[in-house]
Amino acid sequence: MSSWKATLDAAGIESPQLRADFTRLRRVVSRYRRHQYLAVRLLLPKPIVPHVIAATVFMHHTDTILDREGPVEERAAAFERWEELVRDALTAQRSDHPVLRPLLHTCGTHPRLEHHIKEFLDAGRVDLEFAGFTGEEDYQHYIDAYSLPAFMLVAGLLVPDPDEVGYRSACRRFIDGSQRLDFATDLAEDLRAGRLNIPAETLERHGVTRADLESQRDSAGVRSLLEELIRQARTSLAESHALVTCLPEAHRPMGRALIGMEELTADAARRKGAHLLSSSARASIPAALRLLAREYRRRS
């Protein structure tokens, strides 16, 4: 792995203030998404690494505002303040905010990012107003209206034309699988926060109630429910491998690793079974490191 200084140099980030900003963001990502951070550093060309990190932190920061605990009115007010700050920064092309200042620099290098930022901000209301899914149609609307715009913040940096139909379609298949998997693997955490992300019709089909999940009941219905969610996620992830062929050659190891990491997480979730009701599932560390090492050798 090259030094961080060399990475900033390769990205043409010369200002001491911006170098400090991007370094701060690097520390943030390395703390809460260690595997993904390692993949970015190992597998992407140095010039794009700081920009992917800036977009990732912006997405995470916004998502945290939307998902934090508290009455929806307070969350809505906090998001409105953040949205206004971001839009003002985009208009003025300057900001003193430590998340937005480097993001604006990335917009200057990757002009299409501004479109994806605005699309993501527009999508924020969908997450704020979320009250559960009745059926699959509601879930698919959520993917189109919120999850895909969030993913495109980063995915849009990896190709010359992020709005090319084939690429966006492949990104959608990936985020469909990834989001469904998140809802299964983070089920315990979501329930503790008072949020249930499984469609009511899916629960009914398996004869499972919210009370069953909250009481961590290990039943045949609960196990079949979780197996279905993970199977659906694996199907979408398998179909999303088309995403890799849309990427420039230098970015394909990262694309394969991104999908592969989710598939490892799905394997871990399947092994965990009904224990997902008490704690999350994460990809095996040895398996994740083997995946990254394999893709790094292919890159080299």
CATH number at residue 13: 1.10.600.10
Mean pLDDT along residues 102-112: 96
Indicate whether 106 and 159 sit together in one domain. no
Mean pLDDT along residues 45-56: 97
Confidence grade of residue 71 (pLDDT, cut at 50, 70, 90): confident
Res. 55: pLDDT tops 80? yes
Question: What pLDDT, on the 0 to 100 scale, is given for residue 161?
Answer: 87
Mean pLDDT along residues 254-267: 96
Residue type, 109: T
Indicate whether 142 and 115 sit together in one domain. no
* Domain end (from 129, 152, 172): 129
Indicate whether 87 and 208 sit together in one domain. no
Res. 159: pLDDT tops 80? yes
Query: CA nearest 257: which of 44, 29, 5?
Result: 44
Q: What is the pLDDT of residues 15-26, one digit of tens each?
A: 999 999 999 999
Indicate whether 62 and 170 sit together in one domain. no
Confidence grade of residue 157 (pLDDT, cut at 50, 70, 90): very high
Tokens of residue 206, six digits: 């398996």
Mean pLDDT along residues 5-33: 94
Question: What pLDDT, on the 0 to 100 scale, is given for residue 87?
Answer: 97
Question: What pLDDT, on the 0 to 100 scale, is given for residue 239?
Answer: 95
How far is the CA of 207 from the CAs of 201, 219, 226, 227, in angstroms?
Answer: 10, 10, 12, 14
Q: What is the pLDDT of residues 170-217, one digit of tens each?
A: 999 999 999 999 999 999 999 998 889 999 999 999 999 999 999 999
Lowest mean pLDDT among 145-154, 159-168, 179-188: 159-168
Q: Which domain holds residue 247?
A: 131-300
Question: What pLDDT, on the 0 to 100 scale, is given for residue 105?
Answer: 97
Indicate whether 135 and 124 sit together in one domain. no
Indicate whether 67 and 53 sit together in one domain. yes
Q: How many independent structural domains does the chain possess?
A: 2
pTM of the model: 0.92
Confidence grade of residue 300 (pLDDT, cut at 50, 70, 90): low
Does residue 171 contact residue 243 with C-beta atoms inside 8 Å? yes
Indicate whether 4 and 36 sit together in one domain. yes
* Domain end (from 71, 102, 129): 129
Question: What pLDDT, on the 0 to 100 scale, is given for residue 272?
Answer: 95
Res. 57: pLDDT tops 70? yes
Indicate whether 79 and 93 sit together in one domain. yes
Q: Mean pLDDT, the chain, as a whole number?
A: 94
The 3-state secondary structure of 73-125 reads HHHHHHHHHHHHHHHHHHHHCCCCCCCHHHHHHHHHHCCCHHHHHHHHHHHHH
Res. 290: pLDDT tops 90? yes
Indicate whether 11 and 51 sit together in one domain. yes
Please give the share of the chain, as a percent, with pLDDT higher than 70. 99
Considering all CA atoms of the chain, what is the largest pairwise distance in Å, rounded to the nearest integer? 59
Question: What pLDDT, on the 0 to 100 scale, is given for residue 193?
Answer: 84
* Domain end (from 129, 162, 197): 129
Question: What pLDDT, on the 0 to 100 scale, is given for residue 163?
Answer: 79
Indicate whether 217 and 285 sit together in one domain. yes
Res. 69: pLDDT tops 80? no
Mean pLDDT along residues 104-110: 96
Indicate whether 58 and 172 sit together in one domain. no
Please give the share of the chain, as a percent, with pLDDT higher than 90. 86
Indicate whether 45 and 15 sit together in one domain. yes
